[in-house]
Structure 1
Amino acid sequence: MTNAAESRKRGPRGPYVSGREARRTILDAARAVFAEHGFRGGVLRDVADRAGVSAGNIIHHFLSKEGLLVALLEERDLGNSMKLGATSGGFVAGLRDMVNRNAADRGMVHLFTTLSAEATASDHPAHTFFRNRYDEVRRTATEGVETARAQGTLPPGPPAAQVAAGLLAVMDGLQTQWLLDPSFDMVAAFEAHLTAIGATLP
């Protein structure tokens, strides 16, 4: 007879697994719908149809359309993708790694670009999220520029905060060009920008 310890060793079963898988399916569907239509243009029925569930099932898991958006934004790719100094190679290497990772995930880049543009409206549910995110990203990137200058991988020049803001603008702009034209090589274009500003590349 199976005891409780053996059951725990096997991992969760039954409704718990089904519920977790349903949330994952709904989030994947919402990611696609919001990327295509934006938050305001995408409706729960579209998400439900794509996920193969009812709109009521979405409400059950996320309480509201806004709750679904918040859960999506808290996903790793959007919430934690800008840890610029996290690589052992330093700030410049971290930037290059991020651009390469983004080039391998067109769906997430599409979602980010769509939602961040839409969220410039002050009444958008994601406005505060993106404003706070850019505040944090600029702060982290500014520290990264300062560290890279001290290490010699970026040359001295204008204030670090301005250089950081420019790097972020270049990355976002290249992503938009790449979304419009998949043949555009945003990785090569970003490498060229780093070279143009005097970054030391391995």
Structure 2
Amino acid sequence: MATRGAYAKGVIKREEILDAALAVVAEHGYRKASVREIADAAGLSPAGLLHYFGTKEELFVAILRARDERDARVYADAAADPVTALLDVMRHNASVPGLVQLYAQLAAEAGDPEHPAHAYFRERTATVEGASVAGIVAAQAEGTVRSDLDPAWIIRAVHALADGLQSAWMLDPSVDMAADIEQFVALLRP
């Protein structure tokens, strides 16, 4: 019985840490968010923080997973339409530059199969693209998306465009990521 209580407390504490970490990284960015700063925000020592995550890299992967879970909850109503959901997320991303920096940095590093973020990005890509293909197939059946285009290609192209726009936006915050995606989506209409 004590193990269950300790486990439940650990899960709750981990969630508290991730909430604090999301706020710190969103505000200060990937490079300025130290383990010490995140630990302070969570009311822990750096060693206490890493007890829950192992390494700084694993903490940052957990932050991205928590961000994805939060976005899935917040934008659940739009999820039936992958384009609307993506546009909503891209508009939100403009308000959390630190999380965009974290995503872009770890995405680049995740090309190394040994990096702790490698599995996360492979899983995330498969999940996002897999879930979105059905929406494109439905839109093609309704006649709102060109039927001569491969649905998987459309999703890969939009995913790559979104990631590239986030990099461009980090260099020039005047880039309207959502507007650029809307322009691309307009090219997909019959």
Mapped pair 1:47 → 2:35: yes
Shift of 1:57: 2.5
Shift of 1:74: 2.7
Shift of 1:86: 4.7
- Identity rate, percent: 31
Match for residue 36 of structure 1 among 20, 31, 39: 31
Q: Rg bigger for which structure? A: 1
CA separation in 1, counterparts of 2:76 and 2:132?
8
Shift of 1:63: 4.3
Structure 1: gaps (5+ residues): 1-14
Q: State the TM-score, normalized to the length of structure 1.
A: 0.70
Per the alignment, residue 6 of structure 1 pairs with: none
Alignment check: 8 A CA contact 2:129 2:152 kept: yes
Between Structure 1 and Structure 2, the one with more helix by share is: 2
Match for residue 78 of structure 1 among 68, 74, 89: 68
Match for residue 20 of structure 2 among 4, 16, 25: 25
Alignment check: 8 A CA contact 2:29 2:101 kept: no
CA separation in 2, counterparts of 1:198 and 1:130?
29
Alignment check: 8 A CA contact 1:29 1:47 kept: no
CA separation in 2, counterparts of 1:80 and 1:198?
31
AA partner of residue 126 (structure 1):
A
Per-residue Cα deviation, 1:139-196 (whole angstroms, up to 9, x for no partner): 1121121011122321212211111111111111111111111112222212211112
Q: How many residues align?
A: 176
Q: Output aligned runs, 1:98-117, within 5 Å.
A: 98-117=89-108
Mapped pair 1:121 → 2:112: yes
Per the alignment, residue 127 of structure 2 pairs with: 136
Q: State the TM-score, normalized to the length of structure 2.
A: 0.73
CA separation in 1, counterparts of 2:151 and 2:132?
9
